[in-house]
Structure 1
Amino acid sequence: MEAFINYILQFGNLNSQQIDLIKSKAVVREIKKDEYYHEAGKVPREVIFLTEGIMRVCYYNNKGDEITKYFIEENNFLADVNSYNQEIPSTEYIQAITPCTYLVLSKTAMKDLSMTIIEWDTIVSKITAKGLAEKVNKISMMMAEDATERYLSFLEKFPNVANRIPLSYLASYLGITQSSLSRIRKNIR
């Protein structure tokens, strides 16, 4: 819970009563490795903050191939912002790659916090903007790099993730085959 509060406090000032209110609205949940937290076709009704573990966001392309969009590691928020805000079905799946523990803020809790804490909407906007900027930066950098550079960049940006996820998911994320990833890893060593 402390990591959650510390993360929020990076984006605004809150007093102890406000912090206590936020803590009271957050529900701790766990999910087992390989289980899906969210499935495409469903409308997201909550926002989560991952406290332990790694999740991946993926989708199926028009050929039926499963594509990993990105990974979320500890101490980060996770939400399909577009589907959540517009209350429309998501096109993405969210899967636990490792056993995960996370905090849930329901849509009702988010509305209550918005109505009670003057600064809340500003904090949420700043967190959302940061998350979207990070997503864009990841994608634009990957577009300009070859497969080896993408892999090395991934290792540099996510040193704690690479050894905790299956190679098939990493290869999908990098946009290469698993055998290509194995060759790249072999050549780097």
Structure 2
Amino acid sequence: MEALINYILQFGNLNKQQIEFITNKATELELRKEDYFSEAGKIAKQVGFILNGIIRVCYYNNKGEEITNYFIEENNFVVDLDSFDNEIPSAGYVQAIEDCKLIVFSKHSWEEIANTIVGWEGIVNKIVKKSLIQKIERRSPLVSENATTRYLAFMEKYPKLINRIPLSYLASYLGVTQSSLSRIRKNVR
């Protein structure tokens, strides 16, 4: 819980009562490897904060191929925001790629926090803005660089993740086949 509170406090101030209120609204959730936090076609019902593990956001394209959009590691929030906020079916999947431990808030609890804590929306907006910037930074190089450069950039930016993510998911994220990624990895070593 301390990791969550420390993260939130980067984006705004909260007093002891507000912190206590937030922690009382939270529950812990454990996801096993390959479990879904939210699924396509269903409405996202919770916001999570990752304490341990890595989660990926993915979808299936019109050819039925699984495409990994991005990865979310420890000390970050995870939610299909459009589905959660607008109560519409999700277009993608949010899946654990290793055993994960999260702190979660139900839709009802999240709304109670927003309705009780003055300034909460401002804190959430700053967190969302940071997440969107990270998402753009992760995806932008993938458009213009060759596969080897994309892999090297990923290794440099996420050295702690490179050996924790299955090759198939990393290849999908980088937009290459698994065999191409294996060749790139062999040539880089």
TM-score normalised to structure 1 length: 0.97
Q: Quote the Cα distance in structure 1 between the aligned partners of 2:111 and 2:86.
A: 15
Given that 2:49 and 2:102 are in contact with CA atoms closer than 8 Å, whether structure 1 keeps it comes out as yes
> Structure 1: which 5+ runs fail to align?
none
Q: How does 1:59-98 map to 2 (within 5 A)?
A: 59-98=59-98
Residue 16 of structure 1 and its aligned partner are, at CA, apart by 0.8
Which residue matches 2:127? Answer: 127
AA aligned to 1:27 is: T
Q: How does 1:6-155 map to 2 (within 5 A)?
A: 6-155=6-155
Residue 51 of structure 1 and its aligned partner are, at CA, apart by 0.5
What's the CA shift string for 1:41-94, capped at 9, x where partnerless?
A: 000111110110011111000000001111111110011111111111001111
What SS does the corresponding residue of 2:17 show, helix, strand or coil?
A: helix
What's the CA shift string for 1:97-134, capped at 9, x where partnerless?
A: 11000011111111111111101110001101111111
What SS does the corresponding residue of 2:163 show, helix, strand or coil?
A: helix
Q: Quote the Cα distance in structure 1 between the aligned partners of 2:43 and 2:36.
A: 14
- Aligned-residue CA RMSD in angstroms? 0.8
The answer as to 2:130 corresponding to 1:165 is no
AA aligned to 2:107 is: K
Q: Quote the Cα distance in structure 2 between the aligned partners of 1:157 and 1:82.
A: 27
Q: Quote the Cα distance in structure 1 between the aligned partners of 2:109 and 2:65.
A: 36
Q: Quote the Cα distance in structure 1 between the aligned partners of 2:81 and 2:35.
A: 21
Structure 1 segments, 4+ long, off by >3 Å, are none
Q: Quote the Cα distance in structure 2 between the aligned partners of 1:84 and 1:33.
A: 23
Q: Quote the Cα distance in structure 2 between the aligned partners of 1:157 and 1:26.
A: 31
Q: Quote the Cα distance in structure 2 between the aligned partners of 1:177 and 1:163.
A: 18
AA aligned to 2:100 is: C
TM-score normalised to structure 2 length: 0.97
What SS does the corresponding residue of 1:149 show, helix, strand or coil?
A: helix
